[in-house]
Amino acid sequence: MPGEPCLYTIGFEGREAPELFAALAEHKVTLLLDIRQNPNSRKPGYSKKALTASCAGHGLGYEHMVSLSAPKALRVEVQCTRDYGLLRCGYTECLAERGEALQALQEKIASETVCLLCYERDPAACHRSILAGVLNDRLGGKLKIVDL
């Protein structure tokens, strides 16, 4: 991928699957990387099996990367307290121990157009923005991050 590396992020809260796939197509995403701990959803189209099939039908790769999910205990605590500073600190500490997963993601970004997928529509309330920031730091601030 020539030029500045880019990482897209998207949350599916409040979105129907066709809207999500239109956004991915518009930005020429080639790999949808699901970073939820449990890739299940009551919302139609957002379970792992449905996403795998939909991505294939749209010419995209789909991968669930549980190693980059936020720990359940942290998610539950933040859900109760709405303390996003706690999320930032806890998840950043967690990522410090996941060097191999971060390296694998960096390699994917170098070879494909990747979009991180999670539930929350607002990236400021989601671990995907923290992950993107950690990656940007690892790349010396040269990662362009775009939330769709």
Between CA 91 and CA 93 the distance in angstroms is 5
Q: pLDDT of 108-148, one tens digit each? A: 999 999 999 999 999 988 899 999 999 999 999 999 999 99
Strands (E), 1-143: 6-11, 31-34, 61-64, 114-118
pTM: 0.92
Q: Look-up: residue for tokens 């991050």?
A: 145
Question: CA separation (Å) from 98 to 75, 76, 129?
Answer: 18, 21, 16
For 88-105, b/e burial (b = at least 16 CB within 10 A) is bebbeebbeebeebbeeb
Q: pLDDT of 83-92, one tens digit each? A: 888 888 889 9
Average pLDDT, integer, range 74-87? 85
Between CA 104 and CA 98 the distance in angstroms is 10
Structure tokens at 58: 């749209």
